[in-house]
Structure 1
Amino acid sequence: MFSCRRVIAVAALAALPVLAPPVMSPVLAQDAPNLKKDMVGQWELATTERSKTCVVTLKGDAAPQGLKLELEPGCAAALPFTKDITSWNIKGLGDIVRLQDAAGQPVIDFTEVESGIFEGLRTNEGVYILQNLAAARSLAKSMDQMIGDWSMVRGNGQAVCGLTLTNTEAGQDNFQVFLKPKCDPAVAAFAPTQWRLDHGQMQLMSSKGETWQFEADDNAQWRRVPDSADPLIMIRGQ
C-alpha cells in the first residue's frame, strides 16, 4: 500500500513545470571569431627551451582549407615538421589554433595555457610553444640580461654567496646555475642547480625540489620573496 506521504510527494512532482532543454551559451559561438581576430600577427613557434625557433605570420585572408600564413625561410631547417604547414585555422569549440597541411589536417594543434601563450604536442617529439613574437623576444632579452655572475647579499650589504647564471639548458625551460666557493651555510645547504624566469620572477631551484623566488627590486637587483627582516638580495657581481 502507498503511504499518504508518498502520494503527496508524487503529486507534488507531477505538478512541477516541464523544463525546456538547456540552451547552449552563445559565448562559445563567439570564441572562434574572437580568437581568430586575436591570432592575426607575428608569432614565435619554438621548442620549450627556445633552442629552436621559427617566426610564423598568421593572416586573416582566406586560403584553401583555412587562412593564410607565412613561415620565415629558416623554419624548415629549425623545425622540420613546419615544411608541411600551408595554412591555419580555429578548431574545436573555438579554442584550438591549428597549423595544418594542404588537406586541412593538423600538423600541430595549440591550446592557450596562459594569456598569449599556446602549447602544442607532437607525438614522439614533445611540446612546442606558440607565443606572440614581441613578448617572446622581450623574454629572451630579459634572460640574456640575467646571464653572468651575481652576488647574493643580506639587506645590510654583507655578501653571503656568489653564483653564476648560465644559458646552458637543463630541461623544462630551466638553465644551469653554479655556486661559487665559501657560500653562507644556508645557501650552500639549499644548493641551487637550476634557474628560470617565470611570470616576472627569477627562480632558483635545487635538486631536492626546493625553490627560492626573487622579484625585481629595481633594474639592478632581485629580492627574495616573501620579504623578511633580513632579506636576501641578488645583485650583479662586481
Structure 2
Amino acid sequence: MKFPFGLFVVCLVAGLWPAAKAAAQTPRSLANEMVGQWELATAGRDRACVVTLRNNPVPLGMKVEFEKGCEEVLPFTGAIASWTVKGLDLVRFQDERGEPVIDVTEVEGGILEGVRTGEGVYILQNLVAARALSKSSDQMIGDWVMVRSNGNPICGLTLTNNEADGPENFQVFLKPKCDPTVGRFAPSMWRIERGEMLLISASGEVWRFGADDHAQWRRIPDSADPFIMVRQ
C-alpha cells in the first residue's frame, strides 16, 4: 500500500514543528528574560554601573538606559544606542549604526560575559543577584585562614571592626607563621566594596577576593592555584 504523499508531508511537518517552534522561540524568550535591571562590570567588579534593558523598539534594536555616571565609569557605554538578541544565545549592545559595542553570552544562570579587545572581560549580572553578593562587614568579622586550592593553610588572619584610615576600612591582623608571599604583602586593613573583600597593605597594594558558591572567598583574578579565604 502506498503511503499518501499528503499524509507524509503532514507527519513530517508535525514531527519537525516542535523543534522548529522551540528554535524560533529561543531568541524571543531570551529577549524577554533580559528585560530588567542589570549590573555591567569589569571582571573584578572594581568598576560597575546599572543598565536597564527595555523591550521598547528603537532603531535597529530595543531601548537601553544607563544610570547617571556610567559613561565615566565604563566609557564604551557612551557609544551604546540599543540592545538586541543575535542567534540563540548572544546579547548584543550596539551603536546607532547597529555595529557591536560588546557582545555577551550566558556563562551561568543570570550571568553573561563578554570581551572588549584590549580592555578585558566584562560581566553582565542580574542586579538583584549582584547586590546580594554585597556582604555586611559585620558578617565578616572574626578569624579566617587563607588556603591554597588543595586546602593547605598558608596564613591565619583576624578581620576586626576597628576603623582604619576612614569609616569603611577596618584593621586586619596576620597570625604567626604566614607564607612569605602573604607576609610580604602584609595587609593592614580590609573592607567590602561592590561585593568583594579587599585586603589592603600599608603601601596601598590591594588583593581582591570574590565570594564563590561554597561560602569562601577566592582571590581575583582566578587562577589554577588561587588563594582562598575560609572562615575558621
Same fold (TM over 0.5): yes
Query: One-letter code of the match for 2:51?
Result: V
TM-score calculated relative to the size of structure 2: 0.62
- Residue by residue over 1:143-183, the C-alpha shift from the partner in whole angstroms, topping out at 9 and shown as x without a partner, is 7556555255xxxxxxxx741569xxxxxxxxxxx872325
Corresponding residue for residue 142 of structure 1: 135
TM-score (normalizing by structure 1)? 0.61
Computed over aligned residues only, the root mean square deviation of the Cα atoms, in angstroms, reads: 3.5
Looking at structure 2, the residues matched to 39 and 204 of structure 1 have their Cα atoms a distance apart, in angstroms, of 28
Q: State the identity %.
A: 43
Q: Give the paired residue count.
A: 172
2:225 paired residue among 206, 209, 212: 209
Aligned 8 A contact 2:159 2:173 in 1: no
1:110 aligns with 2:126: no
Secondary structure of the structure 2 residue equivalent to 1:58: strand
The change in CA–CA distance for 1:59 and 1:145 in structure 2 (over 3 A counts) is farther
Q: Distance in 1 between matches of 2:66 and 2:142?
A: 37
Task: Say if 2:51 is the partner of 1:66.
Answer: no
1:94 paired residue number = 88
Q: CA deviation at 1:203?
A: 4.0
Amino acid across the alignment from 2:79: D
Unaligned residue ranges in structure 1 (runs of 5+): 1-19, 153-160, 167-177, 215-221, 223-233
Q: Partner of 2:25 in structure 1? A: 30
CA distance in 2 between counterparts of 1:189 and 1:73 reads 44
Q: Residue 121 of structure 2 aligns with which residue?
A: 127
Maintained 8 Å contact 1:48/1:127:
yes
Asked if 1 retains the 8 angstrom alpha-carbon contact of 2:83 and 2:92, the reply is: yes
CA change 1:144–1:82 in 2 (3 A) is farther
Q: Could you tell me how far apart the structure 2 residues matched to 1:108 and 1:204 are?
A: 27
Within the alignment, does 1:39 sit opposite 2:71 as a pair? no
Q: For the pair shown, which has the larger CA radius of gyration, 1 or 2?
A: 1
Which one of 70, 78, 81 corresponds to residue 73 of structure 2? Answer: 78
Contact 2:49 2:73 in 1 (8 A): yes
